[in-house]
A = this chain, B = another copy of it.
Amino acid sequence: MAFLDNAGKWKEDSVDMELRFGIVGGGLGGFIGKVHRQGAIIDDLAVLVCGCFSRNEEKNRATGRKWHIKDESRIYGDFREMAEAESKRGDGIDFVSIATPNNSHYEIARCFLEHGINVMCDKPLALNVEQGIKLKKLAEEKGLMFGLTYTFTGYAMIRQAREMIDHGEIGNILHVVAEFPQDWLIVAQSNDHSDQAVWRMEPEIAGKSLCTADIGTHLEQLIVQMTGLKVKRVLARFDTYPRTLPLETNTTVLMDFGDEISGTIWASQIALGYECGVRIRVFGTDGALEWSHDEPGVLKYTKLNEPTRVMRATRDYLYPESRRLSRLPSGHPEGFFEAFGNIYHSYCEQLQAKIEGRKAESYTYPTIDDGIQGLKFIDACVESNKNGNIWVDVE
């Protein structure tokens, strides 16, 4: 990946890395598989060599062909078969990407871990904390890497925010306000588009939560990655519309982070006028930061008694940790694919370093610990809501 260093020269990192990976799920007829694949290959750190993209054999083959898998024997009809076969090959995959609905994450991830294969998994990690802890133990026993694609944490300006916070540029954090309104569900219901992701509304597949697990958890992780804070306890309120749905579609969560730091999350899937409206504001004693997904290359910074500064991706005035997550000169927008790419980039860098037995640079990505924390957060929210919106510890 080429990025502009502080001398204004394009610097290329990891020129000779070429990891091998496969994908489970994400076949043609959706977009999430493409996002994972694109994220993994955009910086040419990894090559897709196999997959098990769909239970529908025709779609499975078509996807493999489309994605240039030359050896048809590596388009597998079953993920277990894939894990086994790949683990036995000399040129087997270095990691697997899991892009299936929530309820299968656990089983698939466990299977690949058991076969000694590193995992990158779509969020949420699993259906419950117990599953998450089992996966963690297994990964640790096997000495394997486990990453999670909390997309929004991959944006270059979120990394900039984290560096600024760590360098004390906003003082002590006082309050965090994060929101994720979208209109997806109310529009899908009205248009009978609901088939496109109907599984998200089914408790058996999605788990015990819809809105909180699907998008609220993105906010929780965004806060964690952007600020370094951890959610200590929550008070959650769920609303459901249409009223007949089994799971919630609108979530408000009050949070404590310890040290008298408080915050609020609002996630909604019935918010007309919003599509993927993630926005986060962090208020400190000496400054504040604000980021919105509408213009992901922008970070607003207000220092006490000074005008708000509108910081933009790639510029010289950013921290190097942020600058090297941009592939293009300033003003050339990067988007969702590239944010995914940044998470994969960090994961691949770490994995390559591990393979080579050296310490990687400070690239970061959401780990299985973050994934477990995310599940605890969902659990605590569900429990809080069920019990009349009381405070519940996230543990």
Contact = CB atoms under 8 A, between A and B. Distances in A.
Interface residues of A, number: 105
A201 interface: no
Contact of A300 (B31, B34, B273, B287): B273
A229 interface: no
B309 A308 contact: yes
Nearest to A8: B193
Interface in A324-355: 327-338
Nearest to A33: B2
Nearest to A197: B329
A224 interface: no
Given A35-B328, A333-B336, A307 B301 contact: yes
A272 B243 CA distance: 39
A2 B30 contact: yes
Given A239-B175, A293-B333, A196 B268 contact: no
A356 B361 CA distance: 49
A59 to B, nearest CB: 10
A139 to B, nearest CB: 29
A315 interface: yes
Contacts of A284: 272
Contacts of A175: 239, 250, 268, 270-271
A188 to B, nearest CB: 7
Given A30-B10, A302-B272, A329-B184, A310 B312 contact: no
Contacts of A90: none
Given A184-B329, A276-B330, A305-B316, A283 B311 contact: no
Interface stretch (A63-71, A98-106, A112-120): A63-71
Given A254-B237, A270-B175, A334 B336 contact: yes
Given A175-B268, A277-B331, A305 B239 contact: no
A183 B196 CA distance: 42
A231 interface: no
B275 A331 contact: yes
A357 B295 CA distance: 43
Interface string A171-197: 000110101001110111011110110
A217 interface: no
Nearest to A261: B239
Interface string A239-277: 101010000001010100000101010101011111111
Interface stretch (A11-19, A142-150, A367-375): A11-19
Contacts of A15: 28, 62, 65-66
Given A191-B8, A239-B174, A288-B271, A44 B31 contact: no
A250 B285 CA distance: 13
A250 B10 contact: no
17 contacts: A2-B31, A2-B34, A10-B28, A15-B28, A15-B66, A44-B66, A44-B67, A177-B179, A177-B266, A239-B262, A252-B262, A264-B266, A272-B283, A272-B304, A276-B329, A307-B310, A309-B309
Which 8 A/B pairs are nearest by Cβ-Cβ distance?
A275-B331, A8-B193, A276-B331, A333-B335, A273-B302, A272-B288, A307-B309, A332-B336
Interface of A: 2, 4, 7-10, 12, 15-16, 18, 28-31, 34-35, 38, 42, 44, 47, 62, 65-68, 170, 174-175, 177, 179, 182-184, 186-188, 190-193, 195-196, 235, 237, 239, 241, 243, 250, 252, 254, 260, 262, 264, 266, 268, 270-277, 281, 283-285, 287-288, 290, 293-296, 300-312, 315-317, 327-338, 388-389, 391
